[in-house]
Structure 1
Amino acid sequence: MTTSAPLRRLPVGATYNLRDVGGYPIGGAARTRWGRLFRSDAARFTADTDLAGLGLRTVIDLRDDVEVVALPTGLDAVVPTVVRRPLDPRALLGTLDDGSSDPLGELYVALIRERGPRLAEIVSDLAAPGALPALVHCAAGKDRTGVVIALVLSAIGVPDDVVATDYALTAEYLTAEFFASVHAESGATDSADETLRGARPESVTALLRVLADEYDGARAYLVGHGVPDEAIDRLHAALTD
């Protein structure tokens, strides 16, 4: 897709929440590159969409089997590599504190603590030579995708407040119509519970705080779960202007 100026949200396919994570500060004058990493909800893509204009080489689908069967995206017909990496947050929902003021923050922290090897596998997929441009998506592009994108951005040096702001943009795009359609079509965990539909920056900030306090940051977390330092360096270079 060629435009006179980069777009944050992309009107491609039947998506509500397809976004480019380019243009974010990393340090000094450096910024994340536009057109290299995208995040999205799930949608049906067909040959008459302009998805091909994104030049995707890799798609990472974080949904489980039930969701994939209920809503096939068709991406395998237009993207060279489509990888299934289900994160399975459903099993973690029962561990959340019923009285929590931030159940989403608790869920994201639980994903960090309980899904380390899978999260490292996903980041390794993105860091593989030739993997970019890439799209990461789940059902809503909010919870599972939000955790993965937060990890990637934080690991390459994007400041916490910017990572949280990127996450919170989801609240602008996921409408009541979206949640109704997801519930009807896929039963996705991302949006099945009314209390889990928000996207407040505090929720991803809670995740980033745990990464800093318990793992010495996102990069150390990923290295500790098996992502080589050189793979993160390669991802940093590929995502940096």
Structure 2
Amino acid sequence: MKHMLLIGLGPLLACCVQPGAGAQSIAEAVPVARAAPAAPERIVPLEQASNFRDIGGYAAAGGKHVRWGRIYRAGAQPMLTDRDVIAVRALGIGNIVDLRSDEERILAPTRLDGIRYNAVGYSFAPLLETIQTALKKDGTETAIKEMYAVLPTMIAPQVRLLFDRLLANEGATLFNCSAGQDRTGLAAALVLSALGVDRETIYADYLLSERHRHTEWEVAPIPDALATVNPVYAYFAKYRKEPETAKPPSLSASDGRPYLATSFAVIEKRWGSVPAYLEQEIGLNAVDLARLRALYLE
């Protein structure tokens, strides 16, 4: 059976290839995770949005829970309707942190004008080349795992920005990539980890993206002429025309482990632990952590 790779880092890739026969998970000890149904209040009901949800309500440090209505994760917002814009504004969002690349932000700008917008520029092209090379050599699973292996360093500047905005406490915070799945999935995992949410719950939250993406609203229509300007634009254009990309892909490898486990394994191998990564790579010290929990736990 062919395994479809539809990466939320755009989503830019839609490739039907066989998984590498020898693909192994970096995180061999990670238990198989399952996505539980989301609490009704977790999903923000919008007309033309993808994967827009609240990460409140989870059990966290000290017997407390993550506050509802304070931290939202989502896919891109280029196709929001006017009523969607009104509904999102009513959430009291003070900052948007966009995890996407320069190419993505140009092609699919948010419709949430007037809300403080935060981003760190980078090109997706180098990672696209890495993924394409892995696809040709070892197949889909290896390519996805290689992507998740580089995410902790690739999006570190964006994660620093996200924690900075959370600590500023200027209203609710929304962060997104294109699908609200991969980069957003890791960013959400790091925020929840900092708040003391257990790993099993973090994986369950990550896997909710399988159910709550609406790929048709993640990228606006792209003029054919624009596809000739940049290879990343070309991938977006191709993605829009591939009917098999309409269904969100599985976020678990063939062994049942979530792909997010690869990022955690890399973090724990290189930095020793997630708290060490947050301190050394992101700059989140003990005072910051205490403030974060005071602001976002109840």
Under TM normalisation by the shorter chain, which class is it? 0.7 to 0.9
Aligned to 2:294: 237
Match of 1:199 in 2: 251
C-alpha distance 94-31 of structure 1, shift in aligned 2 (>3 A): same
1:58 equivalent among 48, 72, 95: 95
Question: Is the aligned partner of 1:16 residue 2:50?
Answer: yes
Indicate the residue corresponding to 2:199 in structure 1. 160
How far apart in 2 are the matches of 1:119 and 1:28? 24
3-state SS, counterpart of residue 95 of structure 1: helix
3-state SS, counterpart of residue 73 of structure 2? strand
- Which residue in 1 is equivalent to 2:16? none
- How far did 1:95 drift? 2.7
Q: Which has the higher contact order (CA 8 A, sep 6+)?
A: 2
Q: CA deviation at 1:56?
A: 0.6
Match of residue 67 from structure 1:
104
Offset at residue 24 of structure 1 (A)? 1.1
2: distance between equivalents of 1:217 and 1:119? 16
For residues 122 and 169 of structure 1, the distance between their equivalents in structure 2, rounded to whole angstroms, comes to: 21
Structure-2 change in CA distance of 1:26 and 1:166 (3 Å): same
Contact 2:179 2:218 in 1 (8 A): no
Q: Once the 2 structures are TM-superposed, how far is the Cα of residue 13 of structure 1 from its aligned partner?
A: 4.9
The structure with more radius of gyration: 2
Judge which range, 113-122 or 222-231, deviates more.
113-122
**Residue type of the partner of 1:161?**
E
What is the number of residues matched between the two proteins?
A: 230
Cα RMSD (Å): 2.9
Counterpart of 1:12, as a letter, is L
1:167-197 deviations in Å (ceiling 9; x for gaps) = 110011225xx258638447559x7896x94
Aligned residue number for residue 76 of structure 1: 113
Map residues 125-140 of structure 1 onto 2, 5 A cutoff: 125-128=165-168, 130-140=169-179
214 and 65 in structure 1: CA distance in 2 versus 1, 3 angstrom threshold:
closer
Structural mapping, 1:33-112, within 5 Å: 33-43=67-77, 44-45=79-80, 48=83, 49-77=86-114, 79=115, 81-86=116-121, 88-96=123-131, 97-98=134-135, 99=138, 101-112=141-152
Matches of 1:87 and 1:219, distance apart in 2: 26
Q: Which structure 2 residues correspond to residues 160-179 of structure 1 after superposition, within 5 A? A: 160-175=199-214, 178=215
Q: Structure 1, unaligned stretches of length 5 or more?
A: none
Once residues 121 and 201 of structure 2 are traced to their aligned partners in structure 1, the CA distance between those partners, rounded to angstroms, is 26
**Are the structure 2 counterparts of residues 188 and 59 from structure 1 closer, same or farther at C-alpha, using a change threshold of 3 Å?**
farther
CA drift at 1:41: 1.0
TM-score normalised to structure 2 length:
0.67
CA distance in 2, matches of 1:172, 1:116: 27
Tell me how far 1:234 sits from its aligned partner.
1.7
Q: CA deviation at 1:83?
A: 0.9
CA distance in 2, matches of 1:55, 1:70: 26
Mind listing any 5+ residue stretches in structure 2 that lack a counterpart? 1-38, 223-232
Q: How does 1:195-234 map to 2 (within 5 A)?
A: 197-200=249-252, 202-229=258-285, 230-234=287-291
Contact 1:40 1:136 in 2 (8 A): yes
Structure-1 residue corresponding to 2:186: 147
**Alpha-carbon distance in structure 2 between the residues aligned to 1:38 and 1:204:** 19
Q: Name the aligned partner's letter for residue 295 of structure 2.
A: A
**Any conservation in 2 of the 1:59–1:136 contact (CA below 8 Å)?**
yes
Q: Assess if the C-alpha contact under 8 Å between 1:87 and 1:115 holds in 2.
A: no
The answer to whether the 8 Å contact 1:138/1:145 transfers is yes
Asked if the contact 2:120–2:157 (Cα under 8 Å) also holds between the matched residues in 1, the reply is no
Cα offset for 1:212?
2.4
- Give the SS at the match of 1:58: strand
The percentage of counterpart residues that share the same residue type is 28
Q: Deviations 1:4-45 (Å, cap 9, x if unpaired)?
A: x86111113521210100111214531111111000111244
